[in-house]
Each structure stands twice: as C-alpha cells, then as structure tokens.
C-alpha cells in the first residue's frame, strides 16, 4: 500500500486522500490506513437523510454540509475551443499523475491540457494531428506505466482506444478480431464482425491491464488489453454482455479502478438501468459496499450515469438526464456506500444554464481543497428544436455551507 503524506495532491485512482478526512480536517488520521476507495479503512459515515441528500448542489459528509461554488476564474477556454465544445463535447477528462494537468480531447479541435493551477485550457504542443481530426475523449484515463505518464482515450467517434505520451500516439486499439480473450462467446462476437464502440477506459495497476467498456454496441462488454513485448494488444479477461442476453450490463458507459477491502476492483457504471457493478480484473462480480439483495448498487429512479469519478469514500456520477426533482436538467449525483448524499446541478448557476446533460466529472484536490471539473454534452436534437444546450466545461469548489 502506498502511503500518502497529508494534503499531498495525487490523481492515482487507488491511492487518493480520503475525502471524508479532508473535509473534516482529520486527513492525517486516515491517509495511512486508506488507499483510495478502500472500505476496510476507518472512515466517517456519510449522512444519508433523504431530505438533505435532495438539496440542490450540496452534499453531506458526516454531520457537515458542503455546497458547490462555481469558480468562474478557473478553466478559461479560447473562443475556438468554446465553439468546438458547443457542438461536440461528448467527453470526460482526467488528471496527469506527474504534472497534475487535466487533459481531454475536444473533437475537431484537439488534445488540450489544463495547467496544475487550473487557470486555462491550452492545446498540447507538438500533438499528433489525429487528435484534431475527429476523435473525442468519451472516456479518459491518465496512468503510470514503466515510470512514464501515459494518457488513454476511448473515442466513440472513431471507434478506437488511443494510448499516448502527451501528444505522441503510442498505440491505437481498434476492434478485436476474435481469439484474443479468455471468453469464447466474446471471441465469437468479434470474429463475426460485431460492433466495437469503446465508451471508457481505465488502467488497473495491479493487473497491469487496460480495461475498456463497450456499451454502445450489441456486445456490451468489458475487455482487457495488455502491453506485450512493448506493444499494446487485446489479451486476457473479458466479460459482461447485455441483460437481455443474460449479462449484467445495459450500456456499460463508465469504468474506474479502486480498492475494496484491500483488493483491486473494477467498477462499471451501467447507464440505462442506473447500476454500479464491481468486478475483479478477471471479471468475477463482487458485492459492492452498500448493496444488499443484489451485488450491484441500484441508483435512484431515472439515474443514467455516463461516468464515475472516485474520491475518498464518495462516488461522483454525472447523469445524462434529469432526475424527477432536478428541474429538467441533469445533475452530478454523489453517492457514498451505495446511497445518495448530495448532488451538483451545474445548470443552476448563472452563465451555465445550458449545461443540461452531464457527461463527465473529475474530482481533484488542490492545496487540501476539493474541486470538480464538470463536462456537459450538447444534444443536437434539442438544439435543432430550439431548446439550446451546449457542451461546456465548468469548475466547482466544495466549500463548507454556513
């Protein structure tokens, strides 16, 4: 277990400072016992009172309430980036583990990075032209491999997973051919030319594997890729399938890696039925903390999670569509131990009223403070019918409510 010094900023998915400790000033007591999302560690129990959890743009940790403050001074975008995002921001972002930059790919614009102080988004220097040619960052993961910081992006626009070192593309994983995986049914799907549509990607450090979910296809799977003799290839475990075919998924849309009871766990957000599943890196389903009769976490009615971000004991879930009580716009739902503890509704804020559909969210720390980078999806159909909504990136800070 990697020990984190108090208030150290880190984006390592299984070695995060506990949010619960951070917000109540007791971080020093938990960092040595807790790597990331490890539920075996001693943690404060989040309040789950339904009335409190339903309060717009607040969340509860222990007996404390926090509100989200829009930081208009952060995340400046150029006019060209704003124009590209309005028409095509179908994205998520992630944090480089060495530089603390935030990175994403804006379709028809390019690979962009937000400086560690989160002041301004800029195009990455000397990037491969591919990044501006139409691919997106539907899913993003920054990870360390052999001492190097790599960025992986799952592009639904171009049907590939791109692995890069800053702007240099190291590999592009396209559709499997069949025969690469341990599951023969999944091999047969790809041998027959089954559609490949990668929604999200994450690196599992202990398994030394990339995990890719493919919810935008009849083959709704989690697939594994490994670096074999210096080349990234599909290889090893694969699992899943749609519920109507006996599988667990109904659009596997987001994927994260964490630790639960000291074990590496792959968490999958299955969008259409609002569920969060947990698996070993070999595909065995595990009991999620907070789940009871079923192993998965069942989210509130109408929840359609596009992605998931983990910080401490909290799970941040950007929802595609509104909840019954979110005034017609989608929130970022905040869940702890399987229960909602609050939300962020970006469209409630002045100047952000067109952020109707949430697609990405990344929780990060700066100087012991929690920030959230929220990305919204522009619905072209709604725009064509006069109900404007834009792709937009906004940054929020969690502050104690008075």
Strands of the 168-173 sheet, one edge to the other = 139-145, 148-155, 160-165, 168-173
pLDDT at 279: 98
pLDDT at 61: 87
Q: 400: left (phi > 0), else alpha (psi -120 to 50), else beta?
A: beta
Bridge partners (DSSP) of residue 258 are 265
pTM of the model: 0.88
CA atoms within 13 A on the CB side of 357: 22
pLDDT at 292: 86
pLDDT at 333: 98
Is residue 52 classed exposed, middle or buried when 0-12, 13-18 and 19+ CB atoms within 10 A define those classes?
A: middle
Interior CA angle at 29 toward 62 and 395, to 5°?
60
**Strand (E) or helix (H) holding 365:** strand 358-366
DSSP calls for 20-76: HHHHHT-GGGTTTT--TT-TTS--PPPP--HHHHTSTTEEEETTEEEEEEE-TTS-B
Q: Report phi then psi at 181, rounded to 5.
A: -110, 165
- Residues, the chain, total? 402
pLDDT at 56: 85
Bridge partners (DSSP) of residue 140 are 153
CA torsion angle 215 219 225 228 (round to 10): -160
Q: 373: left (phi > 0), else alpha (psi -120 to 50), else beta?
A: beta
Say if CB 198 and CB 161 are below 8 A apart: yes
Residue 361 makes CB contacts below 8 A (sequence gap 6+) with: 92, 307, 309, 316, 317, 318, 332, 344, 372, 373, 374, 375
Structural domain spans, the chain: 45-400
Q: CA separation (Å) from 237 to 149, 151, 222?
A: 24, 22, 8
In angstroms, the CA 370 to CA 203 distance is 23
Helix then strand then coil, in percent of the chain rounded to 5, is 10, 40, 50
Taking only the tens of pLDDT, the chain with its 402 residues reads 222 232 233 333 333 334 444 444 332 222 222 223 333 322 222 333 333 333 489 999 888 999 999 999 999 999 999 999 998 999 999 999 999 999 999 999 999 999 999 999 999 999 999 999 999 999 999 999 999 999 999 999 999 999 999 999 999 999 999 999 999 999 999 999 999 999 999 999 999 999 999 999 999 999 999 999 999 999 999 999 999 999 999 999 999 999 999 999 999 999 999 999 999 999 999 999 999 889 999 999 999 999 999 998 999 999 999 999 999 999 999 999 999 999 999 999 999 999 999 999 999 999 999 999 999 999 999 999 999 999 999 999 999 997
What is the Cα 18 distance to its own chain's centre?
A: 18
CA atoms within 13 A on the CB side of 12: 19
Q: CA separation (Å) from 98 to 149, 225, 277, 356?
A: 7, 23, 29, 33
Q: How many helices, marked H, and strands, marked E, lie in the chain?
A: 5, 26
pLDDT at 294: 94
CATH class of the domain defined by 45-400: mainly beta
**Helix (H, G, I), strand (E, B), or coil: what is residue 360?**
strand
Q: 63: left (phi > 0), else alpha (psi -120 to 50), else beta?
A: alpha
Count of Cβ atoms closer than 10 Å to residue 325 Cβ: 11
In angstroms, the CA 351 to CA 344 distance is 15
């Amino acid at each position: 277990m990697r020990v984190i010094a108090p208030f150290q900023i880190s984006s390592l998915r299984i070695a995060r400072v506990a949010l619960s400790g951070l917000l109540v000033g007791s971080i020093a007591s938990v960092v040595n016992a807790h790597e990331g999302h490890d539920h075996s560690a001693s943690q404060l129990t989040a309040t789950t009172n339904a009335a409190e959890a339903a309060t717009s743009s607040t969340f509860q940790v222990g007996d404390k309430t926090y509100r989200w403050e829009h930081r208009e001074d952060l995340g400046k975008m150029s006019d060209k980036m704003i124009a590209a995002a309005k028409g095509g921001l179908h994205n998520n972002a992630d944090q480089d583990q060495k530089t603390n930059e935030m990175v994403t790919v804006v379709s028809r614009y390019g690979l962009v990075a937000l400086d560690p102080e989160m002041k301004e988004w800029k195009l990455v220097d000397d990037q491969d032209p591919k990044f501006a040619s139409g691919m997106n960052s539907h899913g993003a993961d920054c990870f360390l491999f052999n001492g190097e910081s790599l960025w992986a992006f799952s592009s639904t626009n171009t049907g590939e997973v791109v692995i890069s070192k800053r702007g240099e593309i190291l590999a592009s994983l396209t559709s499997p051919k069949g025969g690469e995986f341990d599951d023969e049914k999944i091999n047969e799907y790809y041998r027959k030319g089954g559609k490949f549509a990668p929604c999200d990607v994450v690196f599992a450090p202990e398994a030394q594997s990339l995990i890719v979910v493919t919810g935008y296809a009849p083959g709704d799977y989690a697939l594994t890729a490994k670096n074999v003799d210096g080349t990234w290839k599909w290889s090893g475990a694969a699992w899943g399938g749609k519920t109507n075919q006996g599988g667990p998924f109904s659009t596997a849309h987001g994927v994260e890696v964490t630790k639960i009871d000291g074990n590496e766990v792959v968490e999958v957000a299955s969008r259409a039925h609002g569920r969060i599943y947990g698996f070993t890196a070999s595909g065995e389903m595990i009991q999620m903390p907070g789940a009871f009769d079923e192993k998965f976490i069942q989210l509130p009615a109408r929840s359609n999670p596009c992605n998931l971000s983990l910080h401490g004991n909290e799970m941040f879930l950007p929802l595609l569509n509104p909840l019954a009580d979110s005034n017609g716009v989608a929130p970022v739902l905040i869940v702890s131990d399987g229960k909602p503890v609050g939300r962020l509704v970006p469209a409630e804020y002045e100047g952000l009223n067109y952020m109707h559909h949430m697609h990405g969210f990344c929780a990060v720390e700066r100087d012991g403070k929690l920030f959230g980078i929220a990305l919204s999806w522009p619905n072209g159909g709604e725009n064509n019918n006069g109900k404007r909504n834009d792709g937009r990136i906004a940054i929020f800070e969690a502050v104690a409510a008075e």
